[in-house]
Amino acid sequence: MVKSRGIRGSGFIALTALLAVALLAMPADSGAATKKQRQCQRAITSVFTFKKRVPKRKRKKAVRIICQTMTIGKTGPKGATGAKGTTGPIGPLGSTGPIGPTGTTGATGAIGLPGVPGPTGATGIQGLIGPTGPIGITGPTGVTGLIGEIGPTGPTGLTGLIGPTGATGLTGALPMVFASIPSSSPQVMNDSVNTVTGWTDEYDPSGTFDASSGTFTAPHSGYYLIEPEITTGPASAVTATGGQPPVLITEVNGLGEDIQDFPLFNTDLTLLTMLVPLQTAQVSGESLQQLSSDDEVVIQVIKQDGIDYDTYGDLKITELPAP
């Protein structure tokens, strides 16, 4: 092996020799050798370190001489595997790299089509009706609620349609006399037979009724409807039974033509039996009388003698048309 000038260190020389041996191990034809020599030259140039004062031309020449004069020796025996070197220390943690740009949001996917409704399930079997439970005990009746206030008057309804005109009726008869005795000032009756007097003449255009005496005089012959409505009864409590029960009489020319009984109080108790007049008994008489001109009509009350009665009411007399 030739020692090259300008090469430092025996270690580099040994390394160069190893590289040359490896590059020249192929057959020594001229084309292959030239190629290998060029490879040897590049390897030595990259491995060797020359002194700074050695010119570049001398460096190339030294490399060329080394690569041309090397002879290929026999491959030496394989050396023993060297011991495993110790693990080197862990290098320092590298700095965190910059954060990459935020990715763009992907486009929203299209809304899927709604699924087809599934078929309606079969109707289940109707369960059996359970037995009727026992009737519960009736609770106590609740307290009657307060009467609510009267609501506001509703709006007036629309006026109904006017119905068709009815057929003309028969000619009616208007009362010719209407008189009354007010309940606030009744007639006090003392006798057993009493003509009802002291009337107030409400209507008498023909002047046929004497209100003070209670006498009606027929103006001419015809049919007259006499309608007294009289309320009477004892002015004080009755202490005895029996006697004349009160009646109402329509009298024409002194004869009783219509008689109406006043209702009585009739009771039968264990220790007491009574049949007495009511304090306010009412009778509505109605009699049709055929009168001649100047016939006189009065209304009478017959009662038990010795008991005062208070009497009041109304009287209506109507002349009916000739049949």
- Among 23, 42, 69, the domain boundary falls at 69
Gyration radius (Cα) of the chain, Å = 77
What confidence score (pLDDT) does residue 100 get?
72
Burial call 235-246: b when 16+ CB within 10 Å, e when fewer:
eeebeeeebeeb
Question: Is residue 285 one of the residues assigned to a domain?
Answer: yes
Residues 307 and 180 in one domain: yes
What confidence score (pLDDT) does residue 185 get?
93
What confidence score (pLDDT) does residue 57 get?
82
What confidence score (pLDDT) does residue 132 get?
65
What confidence score (pLDDT) does residue 38 get?
80
What confidence score (pLDDT) does residue 174 get?
87
Domain containing 197 — which CATH number?
2.60.120.40
Question: Is residue 21 one of the residues assigned to a domain?
Answer: yes
For 43, the domain range is 10-69
Residues 182 and 309 in one domain: yes
Model confidence, pTM = 0.45
What confidence score (pLDDT) does residue 307 get?
84
**d(Cα 60, Cα 53) in Å, to the nearest integer?**
14
What confidence score (pLDDT) does residue 205 get?
93
Total number of domains in the chain: 2
- Among 69, 102, 118, the domain boundary falls at 69
Question: Is residue 197 one of the residues assigned to a domain?
Answer: yes
Tell me how far apart the terminal alpha carbons of the chain are, to the nearest angstrom.
184
Q: Collect the ranges in the chain with pLDDT lower than 50.
A: 1-8, 22-30, 167-171
